[in-house]
Amino acid sequence: MLPLDPTADIGRRAWVPCPRCEDQQDCATCLDGRTCGDHWRYLLTNKGSTLHLQCPNCTHLWAWQSGFGAGGRSEG
């Protein structure tokens, strides 16, 4: 298991499902689409609409395309 990234800050969080541990899968709060106090991810960085995340439970690192912000849309 990887250690937490040294830049991980609880003040920068995102509510995105973890593709590895899927710990949010049976959570009623997450299933309702509400902000859950248990199933958040560290938002390490972002570049336009791509978020770089780390799960505090399994420490998995991944990039997720949010579709929001700069770079997420094409013209036309």
User: Is 1 inside a domain boundary?
Assistant: no
Q: One digit per residue, pLDDT tens: the chain, 76 residues?
A: 778 999 999 999 999 999 999 999 999 999 999 999 999 999 999 998 999 999 999 999 999 999 876 554 555 4
Residue that has been written with the tokens 């997420």 in this structure: 72
- For residue 75, tell me if it sits in a domain: no
Asked if residue 17 is part of any domain, the answer here is: yes
Whether 24 maps to a domain, the answer reads yes
User: Does 50 fall in a domain?
Assistant: yes
> What is the span of the domain harbouring residue 51?
13-33+41-65
Q: Say if 45 falls within a structural domain.
A: yes
Which residues make Cβ contacts (< 8 Å) with residue 47, sequence separation at least 6? Answer: 71
Quote the number of domains for the chain: 1
Q: How far apart are CA 56 and CA 13, in angstroms?
A: 10
Phi and psi angles of residue 66, each rounded to the nearest 5 degrees, phi first: -80, -25
pTM of the model as a whole? 0.82
Domain assignment of residue 74, yes or no: no
Strand partners, 39: none
